[in-house]
Amino acid sequence: MSNGYLLDTSVLLETLRTRPAMAVMEWMESVDQDKFYVSALTIGELMAALEQVSDPDRRTALMRWILTDMQSWFRGKILTLTPEVAAFWGSLAGKLPQGTSAITGLQGAFALKQGLALVTREMVAIPHLNVINPWVR
């Protein structure tokens, strides 16, 4: 059993879709949202995704959501990269399957250090990490 859930960027982006996957929304509603966490890396990934949005109104709304609403939703639950987490990730990185991105590895390190399950759409092969893919029920 985990202490909570580290939501990957893919999960947050899904919630912002006009028609999000029902399985994801049902999963999110089925668990205690007070146990949701995100990493600071996710904020960076969301800002990168924002750069791909061409509609100015949509872009403004998403920027507001990232900088205001999301920050409020996860107040006190945004995990930052510390030297300890970076060192832990470094010790994991050499053991991960080739092709595992640095961000995926870092998300796994955050989750493992905090005793959280990683909630993502990605295939993640990190020993001892509880991975939940809410798209697949």
For residue range 24-81, what is the model confidence (pLDDT) as tens digits? 999 999 999 999 999 999 999 999 988 999 999 989 999 999 999 998 999 999 999 9
The residue behind tokens 């580290």 is 6
Return the bridge partners of 4, or none: 116
Q: Mention every residue, 6+ apart, whose C-beta is less than 8 A from residue 8.
A: 42, 107, 118, 119, 120, 121, 122
The model scores a pTM over 0.85:
yes
Select 4-132's CATH number: 3.40.50.1010, 3.90.78.10, 3.30.930.10, 3.40.50.970.
Answer: 3.40.50.1010
Residue 1 has pLDDT above 80, yes or no: no
Could you tell me which of 108, 38, 118 has the C-alpha nearest to residue 76?
38
Q: Mention every residue, 6+ apart, whose C-beta is less than 8 A from residue 125.
A: 96, 97, 100
